[in-house]
Structure 1
Amino acid sequence: MNKPLAFTFIIVTLTIDAMGIGLIIPVMPDLLQDIEGGDLGHAAIWGGILSMVFALMQFLFGPTIGSLSDRYGRRPVLLVSLLVIAVDYVVMGLAHSIWLLVLTRVIGGIAAATQATAAAFISDISTKDNRSANFGILGASFGVGFVLGPLIGGLLGEYGFRVPFFAAAGLASLNLLLGYFVLPETVSKTMRRRFEPARANPLGALVQIRKIPGLARFLLVFFLYEFAFYSYPAIWVYYAKAQFNWEPGMVGLSLASFGISVAVVEGLLIRRILPWLGEKRT
C-alpha cells in the first residue's frame, strides 16, 4: 500500500467535499429566488430547510454508511459516494423545482455521510505516533476547502448562479477518477464486521457510545460546538445580501477568510500545541 498517496486522496476528498458545499453557498439565494420567486426572506427559509435536510440525512445515515464500510470496505463506499455526489450536483444545477432541490439534498446528504468512513480510513493507515497529527490535517482539509470553495463559487457565480453547481460536479468526478486508481482497501478479512441493523442507525450508535467511558460527555461538547459552528454559514450568505447587498464574489471572499482561520489553526497550530499541552488539555 502506498500510504502517503492514499492519505493524500482522503485529504483531497474531504477538501473537495468542503469545496463542493462552499461553491454553492454564495449563489443559493439567487437560485432559490429564481426557482421560488418571492423575497430574500422567503429564500432564506428554504435555504434553512435544505441545509437541515442535508444535515439530517448525514445524521441518520452516517452510522449506516460507516457500518457498510466495515462490512464491504472503505474503497467501494467512498467511490460510490463520490459518484452519487457528482450526479447530485448536476441535477441541482438543472433543477427548476424546489421539491427537486429537496430531493437532491436528501440524496446528497446520504452520499456525503462518509466522514466516519474517511476517519476510519485515516485510523487504518495511521500509527499511534502520528494519529493525532493526521486527524489535525483531516480537520485542516475542511478549512482549505472552505477557503477555496466559496472563493471560487463566488467568482463563478458572477457568470451565472448555476455555474458553481457544475463546477462542484466536475471536482467530484475528477476525484472519483483519482480514487479509482490510487485508493487501496484497508479493511482486511480479519477486520470485516457483519452488518448489523442494530448498530447501523443513530440510536444503535448512541447505545454503543455509552459502553465507552467518558465518550458521551465528549460528544455532547462536540455537538454543541458543531451546532454553533454550522449556524454561521447557514445564515451568513442571506444576512450579507440583506444587510450589505453583497454579490456572490464578496460573500465568497468573506467565507474564505473564515476558512483561512480554520486551516491555520488545525493545520499548523494544532501540531505545535499537541506536544506542549497534550490532547486532553488542547
Structure 2
Amino acid sequence: MVSTRRTSYPEPGEDQTEEDTKTSKSNGMVGIIFISLVLDLLAFTMILPLFPTLLDYYGQHDESGLYASLQHSVDQFREVLRIPDTKKYNSVLFGGILGSLFSLLQFITSPVIGAASDVYGRRFVMLVTMVGISLSYVLWAMSYNFGMFVLARIVGGISKGNVSLSTTIVTDVSTTKTRGKGMALIGLAFSVGFIVGPMIGAYFAKGGLFDEGSRVITPALLALTLSLADLLFIFVFLKETLPQEKRAPSMGNCFQERQNLINPFSLFRFSAVKNTPIKELQILQQLGLSYFIYLFLFSGLEFTLTFLVHIRFQYSSMQQGKMFVFMGLIMAALQGGYVRRIKPGQEKRVALTGMLILIPAFVIIAFASGSFLYYLGLALFSIASGTVVPCMTTIVTIYGPEDQKGTIMGIFRSLGALSRAFGPAAASAVYWGAGAGVCYIWGAVLMVFPIYILTRVVPTKTQ
C-alpha cells in the first residue's frame, strides 16, 4: 500500500488556516441552530405560566366532557386510597398527566426521528418535525374545549424532535475543541427561551386570560407565528450537515431493529448502536441511566413549581413569568459564561456538582414559607438546570460511530423524554396525595441515586 501521509512540512500558518476555516463554518452552523432554537423555545415556553389558569378555566367551562370525566376518575381513586378531598390540587394532577403525555410521545418518536435523520439527512427530517410543531399551535388556537387542547399537546409531543436533531447537527459540525461550546449554546438558547417566552405568555394573561368566557387566542397565534418563522428560517439557511457517504444505508427491515428504538429496556442498553466497543457501550449505558433518574426527579419537581406558587403564594401569571425570568437569567449567565469554558474532561465533575446542589434546593423549596427562601432554593435549582444536562450531553457525543450519532443522541434524548413522561405525573401524584413538602423532600433523598451512578462512570475518551 502506498502511503498517502504528507511528507513535506506545512507552510507557516497553513494548518492553522484550515482549522480556522473549519471552526468558522462550525460557528456559523451553530449560530443558525441557536437562532432556530430560540424561536422554537419562545413559542414552546409561552404556555408555562398559563397552565394553572388554563386548567382552572377548563375545569369550569369545558364542553367536551373530558375534564369532568377525569375529575370523576380522580374522585374515585381518592376514595379508594382514602385521601382527603383537596380539589385545589386537582389541577396539579391534571397538569402532571398532560406534561407526562407530551413527553411520553417524545419518548416514542425521538429515537425514530434520530435514526431517520441518519438515513435521510438532518435538514429534511428537521423540516418535517417543524411542520408538525406548527400544526400543534394551530390546534391550540382552535382549543374551544379541553379535548381540543389535549389534542394540540398530543400533536406537539409527536413532533417535538427538533431539539435532539439540533444537538445532532452541532455534533456533526463541531470539532473536538468546539463541541462543548456548541452544547453550551444549545443550553443558552433554552435559557433565553425561558427568560422571554413565559413573560410573553404572562403579559397576555395579565388582564385575565379569558374575557367573559371567550378564549383569548393571541398567545397561541403568536406561538404559531414564531413557529412558522422558524420553519422558514431553517428552510432558507440550514444546510445539510450529514453527507450522503456518511449516512446509514436504511432504517432496517428487521422488527427487532425497530423495536430497539422504542423498547425501554433496549434503549437503556443502547441496543440500536452497532459496532461499538464494549467499554464505550457500557459508558453510554451508565450515562443513560444516571441521566434518566436525574431528569425523572428534576422534571417532576420542575413541573410542579408553577402550581406550588399558584397555591402556596397565590402568584399571578405575571409573577410566575418573573419567576421564569429569574431562573433563565441564572441559566443564561452560567451557560453563556461558565459552561462554554469548561475544559474538556471536566464535564463529569461539573455535572456531579450540579446534582449535589439540587439536594439543598429541594429541601429549601419544601419548607419555604415566603418568597425570599423560595427564591434562594430556586437559584440553586437554576444552577443545576444550567449545568447538568449540557455537560452530560457533551460526554455522550464523544462515544459511538460517526454514522450513528443521530441514533445515539435520539436514544439519549428519548431516555430524557421517558423520564419526563413519568416524572411530572409521579411528582404531581405525590403532591396531590401528600402535599408539596413531602414531594420535594423525597426528591432530595432520591437524588443520591443518579449521583452515585455518575460517580462510577470512568470515561475512556476526552474531547
Question: TM-score when scaled to structure 1?
Answer: 0.90
Distance in 1 between the 2:259 and 2:243 partners? Answer: 23
- Give, in angstroms, the shift of residue 5 of structure 1: 3.9
Number of the residue aligned with 1:195: 251
- Give, in angstroms, the shift of residue 160 of structure 1: 5.4
Distance in 1 between the 2:346 and 2:309 partners? Answer: 39
Number of the residue aligned with 1:23: 46
* Secondary structure, aligned partner of 1:187: coil
2:220 corresponds to 1:220: no
Q: Measured at CA, do residues 33 and 242 of structure 1 come closer, stay the same or move farther in structure 2, by a change above 3 Å? A: same
- What are the Cα deviations for residues 94-143 of structure 1, in whole angstroms up to 9, with x where unaligned? 21232222222221111113332211110111111111111111112111
2:130 corresponds to 1:82: yes
Checking the alignment, whether the CA contact within 8 Å between 1:156 and 1:164 is kept in structure 2 is: yes
Checking the alignment, whether the CA contact within 8 Å between 2:105 and 2:154 is kept in structure 1 is: yes
Number of the residue aligned with 2:193: 145
- Give, in angstroms, the shift of residue 220 of structure 1: 1.9
Distance in 2 between the 1:213 and 1:207 partners? Answer: 8
- What are the Cα deviations for residues 252-280 of structure 1, in whole angstroms up to 9, with x where unaligned? 111111121122212211133326x7333
- What are the Cα deviations for residues 149-199 of structure 1, in whole angstroms up to 9, with x where unaligned? 112211122255343222211111111111111010112111211113244
- What are the Cα deviations for residues 52-100 of structure 1, in whole angstroms up to 9, with x where unaligned? 0011111111101101111111111111222221221121132123222
* Secondary structure, aligned partner of 1:37: helix
Number of the residue aligned with 1:230: 299
**Residue of 111, 119, 140 corresponding to 1:71:** 119
Distance in 2 between the 1:95 and 1:107 partners? Answer: 13
Distance in 1 between the 2:109 and 2:197 partners? Answer: 25
Higher relative contact order (CA 8 A, sep 6+): 1
Which piece of structure 1 moves more, 129-138 or 98-107? 98-107
Checking the alignment, whether the CA contact within 8 Å between 2:184 and 2:340 is kept in structure 1 is: yes
2:341 corresponds to 1:280: no
Distance in 1 between the 2:37 and 2:263 partners? Answer: 22
Where structure 2 has 5 or more consecutive residues not aligned to the other structure, the ranges are: 1-21, 62-86, 210-216, 253-257, 351-463
* Secondary structure, aligned partner of 2:117: helix
Q: How does 1:9-48 map to 2 (within 5 A)?
A: 9-37=32-60, 40-48=88-96
Give the CA RMSD over aligned residues: 2.3
2:321 corresponds to 1:259: no
**Residue of 136, 139, 161 corresponding to 1:91:** 139
* Secondary structure, aligned partner of 1:280: helix
Q: Measured at CA, do residues 165 and 189 of structure 1 come closer, stay the same or move farther in structure 2, by a change above 3 Å? A: same
Number of the residue aligned with 1:182: 237
Q: Measured at CA, do residues 87 and 225 of structure 1 come closer, stay the same or move farther in structure 2, by a change above 3 Å? A: same
Distance in 2 between the 1:74 and 1:207 partners? Answer: 25
Distance in 1 between the 2:331 and 2:289 partners? Answer: 21
Q: Measured at CA, do residues 25 and 280 of structure 1 come closer, stay the same or move farther in structure 2, by a change above 3 Å? A: closer
Count of residues paired in the alignment: 281
Question: TM-score when scaled to structure 2?
Answer: 0.57
Which piece of structure 1 moves more, 230-239 or 43-52? 230-239
Number of the residue aligned with 2:455: none
2:30 corresponds to 1:7: yes
Q: Of the two, which has the highest radius of gyration?
A: 2
Distance in 1 between the 2:301 and 2:199 partners? Answer: 17
2:319 corresponds to 1:250: yes
Which piece of structure 1 moves more, 14-23 or 59-68? 14-23
Checking the alignment, whether the CA contact within 8 Å between 1:57 and 1:110 is kept in structure 2 is: yes
Q: Measured at CA, do residues 93 and 244 of structure 1 come closer, stay the same or move farther in structure 2, by a change above 3 Å? A: farther
Distance in 1 between the 2:26 and 2:179 partners? Answer: 13
Checking the alignment, whether the CA contact within 8 Å between 2:172 and 2:241 is kept in structure 1 is: yes
- What are the Cα deviations for residues 33-69 of structure 1, in whole angstroms up to 9, with x where unaligned? 2223286533222211110001111111110110111
Q: How does 1:131-142 map to 2 (within 5 A)?
A: 131-142=179-190
Which piece of structure 1 moves more, 32-41 or 53-62? 32-41
Number of the residue aligned with 1:164: 219
Q: Measured at CA, do residues 147 and 202 of structure 1 come closer, stay the same or move farther in structure 2, by a change above 3 Å? A: farther
* Secondary structure, aligned partner of 2:347: coil
Q: Measured at CA, do residues 7 and 159 of structure 1 come closer, stay the same or move farther in structure 2, by a change above 3 Å? A: farther
Checking the alignment, whether the CA contact within 8 Å between 1:125 and 1:186 is kept in structure 2 is: yes
Which piece of structure 1 moves more, 265-274 or 146-155? 265-274
Checking the alignment, whether the CA contact within 8 Å between 1:5 and 1:182 is kept in structure 2 is: no
Distance in 2 between the 1:202 and 1:147 partners? Answer: 36
Distance in 1 between the 2:230 and 2:105 partners? Answer: 23
Distance in 1 between the 2:170 and 2:337 partners? Answer: 19
Where structure 1 has 5 or more consecutive residues not aligned to the other structure, the ranges are: none
**Residue of 171, 188, 196 corresponding to 1:123:** 171
